[in-house]
Amino acid sequence: MIGCVGKQGWAKMTNLGRTAGQARPDSAQPKRLHFLTFLGTGDYHECTYYLADKITSEDTLDPRFQAASCYVQESLVRLLVGAGGEPGLLGHGTLADTHLSKVTVFLTKEAREQRWDAYTDPKPEAGSAPAGLHERLHTLQSAHGFQLTARCIRTGQSEEDQWHLFNRILKAIADEDDVVVFDVTHGFRLMPMVALLALDFVRKVRRITVPHIWYGNPHSPTAHGSPIIDLSPMARILDWSSALQNLLATGHAGALGELMTADDMPPVVATYGTKLTEVAEAVNRASAFKFPHLAQELLKLEDHLPKNSDGQLAPVEQVLELIGDRYRDLATIVADGDIATTGTAEQVRAYLQSQVAAAKMLLAHKQYMQCFTILIEALTTLSHFYTAPSGLPRVSTPQTDGADRRRQGLRRYGLDPARATTARHINDNLTTVRNALNHAYVSSEHQDFDGDTTLQEHGAGLIASFAELLREPLPPPRVYRKGDKR
């Protein structure tokens, strides 16, 4: 197996990787494309391969996107570099401004002997045996100057063998590779799945672009030849699930927003993605007045989203549905700054309920400062509408006895005794835990709050208390007029 690298005529492998943090080459330089493929021991018959996604709506095909060979690997290399002076894929679409720098072939010991070095044991009706893939690719290598390497892989299907393949793919893809494309046509059994996961890993960890994952189907020819299907849209499902998980776990919607605003998404999905990012960012920075309106605008777009779609939009619909459910409790119509003078009891209650929902979301994301900030501001809003008119004491003094403090608390909030007591309880506990956060737990009395478990318990308790306070309709709020003193 060691002999797979270093055989006469094969390029010597060199370590040209970038160090961590080192920038990629100047964007004005062509990007380096690395083509990877599997070579198996199956029968290879001469046919014309074509890129299925290049068929026009009139069922026509540019000849640049067809190439004849018994090897799909050779056909794809020819499609990449072009022929007859015509530019290939390297000058087109997602591969514009790239040049083919490497070709890596993954093969077993048997495939090396039977299909790479030479084509052995042809069927009687096949006539003379074609040349081995090495010879066919070496001819193209001489003309176009790319690095050609074969890497041996195991034939087994055990977990150990799968990890061996995964790591072989990772090692083959160097840090200096800008763009990677993979042909999985002759991947055996689990190999295409392992390749897909390895490609997803290098995309997300090394930030390498993987625009195409190809699968050739010589057994289902059409009028144009044997189609080569691009599986990369299917691979994007991993992006959607990862981005959704990130949103649910952290509240950050940037990755989902990027997917929704991709060129192949319907305009309404792109608009939804932009609005989603705005809502998520407003919640994360505890923008109390903004996120209810933004969430309302987000939900208004739901009626225009795709329904009962096929293809790649079908799973996207499920993601959109989950997003709508997530932000529904945050969506309420409030008068923003004008609520101070025009808010009705139902508006105040709806606004406060949206704040509690946001606090619950922030607590789940362990964004404690934002969570308790939202709750404090919600309590301030409650105090604003239910503080007694000027002339009555708003707060107790150290000299006031317990009974007086309770009476003044009721006057302060203008609520029934049970709700006023709950509001005071929320206020006292919020003040304590927020002080601990504000002062970075430096005081000995704050040490009890320095831990996720404690903060989660206090946050959940305060949110539950606030939700209970808002369970029934609120009484008519106090409306402040110009010149009123608070």
Residue 11: inside a domain, yes or no?
no
pLDDT class for 195, splitting at 50, 70, 90?
very high
Q: Which of 211, 230, 249 is a domain's end point? A: 230
Most confident of 185-194, 308-317, 357-366, 443-452: 357-366
Please check the confidence at residue 445 and state whether its pLDDT lies above 70: yes
Q: Please report which helix (H) or strand (E) contains residue 331, including its range.
A: none
Contacts of 37 (CB under 8 A, 6+ apart): 72, 73, 76, 103, 104, 105, 106, 182, 183, 184, 185, 186
What confidence score (pLDDT) does residue 129 get? 61
What confidence score (pLDDT) does residue 127 get? 54
Tokens matching residue 245: 């998980």
What confidence score (pLDDT) does residue 28 get? 66
> Does one domain contain both 76 and 183?
yes
Please check the confidence at residue 481 and state whether its pLDDT lies above 80: no
Residue 388: inside a domain, yes or no?
yes
pLDDT class for 391, splitting at 50, 70, 90?
very low
Give dist(CA 72, CA 89) in Å, integer: 15
> Does one domain contain both 419 and 281?
no
> Does one domain contain both 357 and 463?
yes
Beta bridge pairs of residue 39: 107
What confidence score (pLDDT) does residue 411 get? 56
> Does one domain contain both 59 and 182?
yes
> Does one domain contain both 360 and 247?
no
What confidence score (pLDDT) does residue 237 get? 86
pLDDT tens-digit readout, 415-434: 777 788 888 888 888 888 88
Please check the confidence at residue 328 and state whether its pLDDT lies above 80: yes
Domain count, the chain: 3
What confidence score (pLDDT) does residue 106 get? 95
Please check the confidence at residue 394 and state whether its pLDDT lies above 80: no
What confidence score (pLDDT) does residue 427 get? 86
More reliable by pLDDT, 122 or 194: 194
> Does one domain contain both 100 and 66?
yes
> Does one domain contain both 124 and 258?
no
Q: Which of 230, 251, 271 is a domain's end point? A: 230
Please check the confidence at residue 366 and state whether its pLDDT lies above 60: yes
Domain containing 397 equals 332-469
> Does one domain contain both 85 and 206?
yes
What confidence score (pLDDT) does residue 413 get? 63
Please check the confidence at residue 97 and state whether its pLDDT lies above 90: no
Distances (CA, A) of 116 to 45, 88, 120, 140, 472: 15, 25, 10, 15, 77
What confidence score (pLDDT) does residue 450 get? 85
pLDDT class for 386, splitting at 50, 70, 90?
confident
Beta bridge pairs of residue 49: 67, 226
Give dist(CA 478, CA 486) in Å, integer: 11
Q: 228 by DSSP, 3-state: which?
A: strand
Please check the confidence at residue 192 and state whether its pLDDT lies above 70: yes
Give dist(CA 253, CA 115) in Å, integer: 48
What confidence score (pLDDT) does residue 395 get? 42
What confidence score (pLDDT) does residue 356 get? 96
pLDDT class for 112, splitting at 50, 70, 90?
very high
Proportion of the chain above pLDDT 90, given as a percent:
43
> Does one domain contain both 187 and 268?
no
Q: Which of 327, 344, 369 is a domain's end point? A: 327
pLDDT tens-digit readout, 263-303: 888 899 999 999 999 999 999 999 998 999 999 999 999 88
> pTM (2 decimals)?
0.73
Please check the confidence at residue 62 and state whether its pLDDT lies above 70: yes
> Does one domain contain both 121 and 186?
yes
> Does one domain contain both 337 and 360?
yes
